[in-house]
Amino acid sequence: MTKLSVNLNKIALLRNSRGRDFPNVVAFAQKFIALGVQGITVHPRQDERHITRQDTLDLAQLLPWGSAVEFNIEGYPSEDFLQLVEKARPAQCTLVPDAPDQLTSDHGWDVIKHRQALAKMCSRLQAQGIRVSIFLDPSLEQVEAVPATGAERIELYTEAYAAAYGSNQLESVLPSYAATAARAQALGIEVNAGHDLDLQNLSQFLQIPAIKEVSIGHALMVECIEQGMTSVVAQYLTICGEAA
């Protein structure tokens, strides 16, 4: 079974557009948890255009370290970010190579180039009992460098898969994800996935064995608007429950 972690960034973005605490991020986390999701994800950015530092700390109170529902904080590992993660102490931190002004995540780490810096970050966070995942493109060359960082997991950046889904390109794209996941697992590294996964394309992606967790936000929120939270979450949980 694959765990479903819901990214709440779009709830925070909607709230911030009106200047008051509605919709409330923690309240929506509670709604998703009540529907059975196994994780909550946030991606706080320096400009706080959606999730804020305070949101992160509030969610940390709802989901303290050791909770059955895991809290995942993802983002670029600036010193401010690392200090926030240490204070919040989530179950997992996903390190993402985002620029401060970047609209959304659009590439994985060059682990070969940054392995020493990543190793220091991993060690620092792991000292607090925080599992570390590294955002990664499907690349056998890059995954070979991950063990040197000490990270327990990678998160496969799935935009290329989502863009190819439903086209002839999928036949050449999906095997690269499967090969990267298989190599990571052979190296003792667990595999997460996320970015542009949705109800249409998730099932085929999860034919890749032993994906531990998918983090889904943007598409899931749109689908909730169209179909309702209860129906959408139930569909995702069914797909994840049927995963290899």
In the chain, where are the structural domains located? 3-241
Find out whether 107 is annotated in a ligand binding site. Answer: no
User: Does 195 qualify as catalytic in the annotation?
Assistant: yes
Mean pLDDT value of segment 199-209: 97
Q: Is the pLDDT of residue 16 over 60?
A: yes
Q: Which of 70, 74, 155, 223 is catalytic?
A: 74
Q: CA distances (Å), 86 to each of 120, 124, 147, in order?
A: 14, 9, 22
pLDDT for res 40: 98
Is the whole model's pTM more than 0.85, yes or no? Answer: yes
pLDDT for res 46: 86
Q: Is the pLDDT of residue 47 over 80?
A: yes
Q: Is the pLDDT of residue 121 over 70?
A: yes
Q: How confident is the model at residue 101 (pLDDT cuts 50, 70, 90)?
A: low
Mean pLDDT value of segment 177-203: 98
pLDDT for res 108: 82
CATH of domain 3-241: 3.20.20.70
Q: Is the pLDDT of residue 25 over 60?
A: yes
Find out whether 217 is annotated in a ligand binding site. Answer: yes
Mean pLDDT value of segment 91-98: 95
pLDDT for res 184: 98
pLDDT for res 152: 98
Structure tokens at 130: 């925080």
Q: CA distances (Å), 53 to each of 43, 59, 142, 162, in order?
A: 10, 10, 31, 30
pLDDT for res 77: 96
Residue of 153, 152, 156, 147 lying closest to 178 (CA atoms): 156
Mean pLDDT value of segment 175-186: 98
Q: Which of 152, 155, 195, 223 is catalytic?
A: 195
User: Does 107 qualify as catalytic in the annotation?
Assistant: no
Strands 92-95 and 131-136 come out as parallel
Find out whether 20 is annotated in a ligand binding site. Answer: no
The percent of residues above 70 in pLDDT, for the chain, comes to: 96
pLDDT for res 189: 98
Q: How confident is the model at residue 149 (pLDDT cuts 50, 70, 90)?
A: very high
Q: CA distances (Å), 83 to each of 47, 64, 78, 93, 145, in order?
A: 16, 16, 9, 12, 26
Find out whether 50 is annotated in a ligand binding site. Answer: yes
User: Does 86 qualify as catalytic in the annotation?
Assistant: no
